[in-house]
Structure 1
Amino acid sequence: MLTGGLSLLEWVVLVQRELLLFAAVFFLIGALDEFAIDFAWLWLRLTGRARPAVYDPARPDRPPLRQAAVFIPAWQEDRVIGATVRHMLRVWPDRTLRIYIGCYCNDPATIEAVAAAASGDDRVRLVINEAEGPTTKADCLNRLYAALESDEARSGTRAASVLLHDAEDMVDPAALSLIDECLRGADLVQLPVLPLPQAESRWVGSHYCEEFAESHSKGLVVRDALGAGIPLAGVGCGIARDALARLASGRGTHAPFATDSLTEDYELGLGIAEMGGRTRFVRYRSADGRLIATRAFFPARLHQAVRQKTRWILGIAFQGWDRLGWHGRPVEVWMRLRDRRGPFAALLLGIALAVLFLAGIGSAASLAGWNAAPELPPALETILMVNIAALLWRCAFRFGFTAREHGFGEGIRAVLRLPVANFIAMLAGRRALFAYVRSLRGARPQWDKTEHDAHPALLPRRIMP
């Protein structure tokens, strides 16, 4: 017997019941939040506003392409940067295009790979940071922005837009002209990102497929329709040159990217929206039905995926709370709450695992005759039934969005990968919390990037032209 007359098994049952109630209620709140987005998307779909239109970059009435600058920060990316540059130069043949690639003086392999891929093409600008890397991604981007300003002052011409990409991206041939057209009526444009399935990493590397398929087919579509600010994904996005200059001026510097943030792209999108700029999420398909999007292979190993999602949670949830606050219209507050739920979601998943573990102990004790299995209150049973129905609903949506972009088989695997995605989220949430505590003690942010070994353009049979 223990204190208060309760046995050890009775304490296990009591703790399990309280944790179950806590998790069930907050899972229900999360489900209602998702239902609101689901039904908003269904309404947009029924009214035709969520159906991507067909875009033809070769149509006769397309306005002339304006000068664009592409920023690609690179640290130890010699295995993929060459493929990215060669593919970009081939599918975006416009001679006014300028590609700024930021490297570091202590990364000669990446510098050599960029030089070899450029093959003397004067559209490529290799910008070498004199500081030893890695600093932060934002610091590298600010160095590219300074190089752009210097080129503009020297040539007397000004770029109309700045596009952001990562070293492992495979751009869409139609994306450059689509972004240029959309920026004629907006300050910021984000195109979909399409992670590609990986046969050698069906469970880790491929789990990004369903997450982005649902987010970039539904979540950001609803966000755009509600008029909320669109956060940038850091790739496949374009910013009007004047809007970027206003953002830099508003910071009191000539640098638009926040060097003390790990998710400078996310903050940039919301920062432009706060200035009154118009932000858009744009989904179009080509005539053959292909989604106009940025394609890439995402981290294939568990520790790489955890590191990447740690950076997202730390930057968006913890740093975003500190740096961006909660001000704005109600819809903006709602969207920021959704963005920052990662740590709490990881906590709930951990509690759910604890509940299952304790329930197993209780069930074993009941079968052994040591303790009677307790009955659940009717209200809690109802909440659990609603949560189960919500889970099935969520699986159906995840299957549908994934199957639309990647096929039926990948849609089935998307549902089976839910436990893997949850496990990665829990590990990343824990790691992000510890990193945030270290930052409160004065630790400086550093570019904790993931390694990239594969590139879609290097496949024997490429995903697209």
Structure 2
Amino acid sequence: MSTVKNPGAKFVAWAIGLLVIVQHELLLFAAAGIIIGGIDDVVMDILFLIRRGWRKVIIYSRHARMTTATLPPSPARGTIAIFVPAWHEAEVIGPMLRNALLRWGTADYRIFVGAYPNDPGTLQAIARAAAGDEHVVLGINPRPGPTTKADCLNTLWQVMLREEDRMGARFKAVVLHDAEDVVHADEIALFDLLIDRFDLVQLPVLPYLGQGSVWARCIADHYCDEFAEAHGKFLTIREALGGSIPSAGVGCAFSRNALATLADSRTDGPFDIASLTEDYETGLRIAEQGGKGVFVRIRDGRGDLVCTREHFPDSLDAAVRQKARWMVGIALAGWDRMGWRGGPVEIWMRFRDRRAALAALVLCAAYLALLLWGILCLLDLATIVPWRQMTPMLRTMLETNLALMLWRFGMRAICVGRSYGWRQGLAALPRTFVGNFITILAARRALSIYVRSLFGRPLTWDKTPHRFPNLEAGS
């Protein structure tokens, strides 16, 4: 007697079998990707620990650490130009300028603030803050905003050239700052000294801790975690290995001559208006033309780090938009625009810069594999499908992933703890998953923006809202 197979049961078995295969392949891809990225990080960490130990034992055991209080003045002092591009920054540009004018006092500098004719709020805030102070020079873009940040910077470059004609002297360096930055009092003198030897000088960025709800603090504080590693470890090794120093866009000084060389290669100014990360690219282009860059971690006479401080986004939408802009400019469009020029060290550094998009794909596969694993476990408990045994190779890969993850957690906790204290170092561990979630969403948005740009849609200044801290309250 023949039996009639149940078509529904056959389809369910086929679907579950497909689910098992998909979960296995996703897990294999994610495990391989995490191992590659993890080994890359471990190599960087080991180099950092070796360098830190060597400097502590060999150098600082014999010489006191330099501070800005013990540094000599530049033998060839010059006027420093500070470029501050602003689009819809009425809430922050006034406090930022007043704080900068107060901290820098009578030092030799000019602040060039770029604004747009269709942004009256920002124009009024600049006028109120400057109040006729000769240190502040306004540059109004001839085009309505938003254009790109690079376009605004190029407008300031032209305004600076006209100011040089009026003064009868050239500026020594150009410093980039954003409208929400809290500047350090000693940076003008520090840039004046170091630009004698270097074409690019980058100071660390130290974000403020977030405020408000737990979720808002997690989003804001994950920037603290990332900058604590990037500017507390990665850039120091990048410089030590001879790699190019990319500009972070704030707290960064370029020599006037290096920017002039870049400006000679285009008609609109030294910054490329087609780029969303013109600051990053400018640092690399200066290195390609033979310029020397340096990343400087130094403390002032009170023991505080000379750095740029600011509040970063504390909402999911703002964080995703900001990171998508970075990802488009560095990992996607930057790949096309800057290529893979340079020696082995430079190629390695550019790989690390651009791996964010690939990392998002690996993370997405890992979390999806984890979700499917949970579903299959439930099906296994319900005896609907037997659990597929893990191969020895995959088991070894997952054990390696676990070891690399524990190492990564430990290094992140140490780096964050150095900058923010041990409590924040421990809190950085769960915030890693918040950062992963933001990275995945940002990669999706970045890919969409990049694809649209390939079909002719111009890239524009997709900025995020900012806030300036209450410095008297310490927030």
| TM-score under structure 1 length normalisation | 0.95
Residue matched to 2:205:
193
Question: Structure 1 61/433 Cα, relative in aligned 2: closer, same or farther at 3 Å?
Answer: closer
Q: Which amino acid aligns with 2:140?
A: I
- C-alpha distance in 1 between matches for 2:72 and 2:136: 29
Q: In the TM superposition, what is the alpha-carbon distance from 1:403 to its structure 2 partner?
A: 1.3
Counterpart Cα distance in 1 of 2:247 and 2:297: 14
User: What is the distance in 1 between the residues matched to 2:146 and 2:66?
Assistant: 39
Summarize the Cα distance change of 1:49–1:150 in structure 2 as closer, same or farther, 3 Å threshold. farther
- Residue 62 of structure 1 pairs with residue 73 of structure 2: yes
2:220 corresponding residue in structure 1: 205
Pairwise CA distance, 1:261: 0.4
| 1:164-183 equivalence runs, <5 A | 164-183=176-195
Q: String of CA shifts for 1:195-238, please: whole Å, max 9, x gaps.
A: 11012131111210000000001111110001110110000000
1:373–1:455 Cα change, 3 Å: same
Give the CA deviation at 1:94.
3.1
- Residue equivalent to 1:231: 246
1:242 maps onto 2:254 in alignment: no
Match of 2:172 in 1: 160
1:74 aligned onto 2:81: no
How much does 1:435 deviate? 0.5
The letter of the residue matching 1:7 is W
- Say if 1:398 and 1:414, in contact at 8 Å, map to a contact too: yes
Equivalent position SS for 2:89: coil
Q: Distance in 1 between matches of 2:10 and 2:154?
A: 62
Q: Please say if 1:359 is aligned against 2:373.
A: yes
Matched, 1:130 2:118: no
SS of 1:336's equivalent in the other structure is helix
Partner of 1:91: 103
Task: Work out whether 1:455 is the aligned partner of 2:473.
Answer: no
**Percent identical:** 47
Indicate how the Cα distance of structure 1 residues 54 and 83 shifts in structure 2: closer, same or farther if over 3 A, else same.
farther
Matching residue of 1:412: 426
Separation in 2 of the partners of 1:323 and 1:21?
32
Paired AA for residue 29 in structure 2: F
The 3-state SS of whatever aligns with 1:100 is strand
Amino acid at match of 1:238: A
| 8 Å CA contact retained: 1:97, 1:123 | yes
Deviation at 1:289, TM superposition (A): 2.6
1:278 matched to 2:292? yes
Shift of 1:459: 3.6
- Counting matched residue pairs gives 460
Hey, what's the Cα distance between the residues in 1 that align with 2:69 and 2:416? 29
TM superposition score normalised by structure 2:
0.93
Say which SS state the counterpart of residue 286 (structure 1) adopts: coil
Of structures 1 and 2, the larger Rg is shown by: 2
Q: CA deviation at 1:96?
A: 2.5
| TM superposition shift of 1:54 | 4.4
Give the superposition deviation at 1:176: 1.5
C-alpha spacing 1:80/1:3, structure 2 compared with 1 (3 Å): same
CA distance, structure 1, for counterparts of residue 10 and residue 249 of structure 2 = 56
- Asked whether the 8 Å contact 1:311–1:448 carries over to 2, the reply is yes
Instruction: Give, in angstroms, the shift of residue 288 of structure 1.
Output: 3.1
CA 1:436/1:35 → structure 2, altered by over 3 Å: closer, same or farther? same
Which secondary structure does the structure 2 equivalent of 1:340 belong to? helix
Unaligned runs of 5+ in 1: none
Displacement of 1:154 after TM fit? 2.4
SS state at 1:284 partner: coil
| CA–CA distance in structure 2, aligned partners of residues 133 and 462 of structure 1 | 33
String of CA shifts for 1:354-401, please: whole Å, max 9, x gaps.
101110111001111112212211111111111111111111111111
Query: What are the equivalent positions in structure 2 for 1:9-28 lying under 5 Å apart?
Result: 9-28=16-35
Question: Does 2:221 align with 1:221?
Answer: no
- Once the two structures are superposed, the pairs formed by residues 372-451 of structure 1 within 5 Å of their partners are 372-451=386-465
- 2:58 counterpart of 1:44: no
**Contact in 2 for aligned 1:169/1:294 (Cα 8 Å):** yes
3-state SS of 1:113 partner: helix
* Equivalent-residue separation in structure 2 for 1:5 and 1:262 (angstroms): 48
Residue 72 of structure 1 aligns with an amino acid whose one-letter code is: V
| Mapped partners of 2:308, 2:153: distance in 1 | 19
Whole-angstrom CA distance in 2 between matches of 1:49 and 1:325: 37
User: Which residue of structure 2 lines up, in the alignment, with residue 35 of structure 1?
Assistant: 42
Letter in 2 for 1:420: V
SS at match of 1:204: helix
Residue type of the partner of 1:123?
H
Residue 314 of structure 2 is aligned to residue 303 of structure 1: no
Distance in 2, matches of 1:126 and 1:279, equals 29
How well do the aligned residues superpose, as a CA RMSD in angstroms? 1.9
- 1:102, distance to aligned residue in structure 2 (A): 0.2
Q: What's the offset of the Cα at 1:144?
A: 0.1
d(CA) in 2 for partners of 1:78, 1:54: 40
Following the alignment from structure 2 to structure 1, what is the Cα–Cα distance between the partners of residues 36 and 142?
A: 50
**Structure 1 counterpart SS, 2:55:** coil
Q: Distance in 2 between matches of 1:317 and 1:3?
A: 45
Q: Give the whole-Å Cα distance in 1 for the aligned partners of 2:471 and 2:105.
A: 22
Q: CA deviation at 1:419?
A: 1.1
Between the aligned partners of 1:234 and 1:387, the Cα distance in structure 2 is: 34
Runs of 5+ consecutive residues of structure 2 not aligned to the other structure: 1-6
Distance, in Å, in 1 between the alignment partners of 2:170 and 2:19 is 68
1:115 aligned partner: 127
Contact 1:71 1:162 in 2 (8 A): yes
**What SS does structure 1 have at the residue aligned with 2:211?**
coil
8 Å Cα contact 2:116-2:140 kept in structure 1: yes
> Which residue identity lines up with residue 192 of structure 2 in the other structure?
D
The residue that corresponds to 1:145 in the other structure is: 157
Measure, in 1, the Cα distance between the counterparts of 2:145 and 2:169. Answer: 31
- Is the contact between residue 54 and residue 286 of structure 1 (CA under 8 Å) also seen in structure 2? no
Question: Following the alignment from structure 1 to structure 2, what is the Cα–Cα distance between the partners of residues 39 and 446?
Answer: 40
Q: Distance in 2 between matches of 1:242 and 1:36?
A: 36
Q: Give the distance between the partners of 1:366 and 1:275, measured in 2 at CA.
A: 61
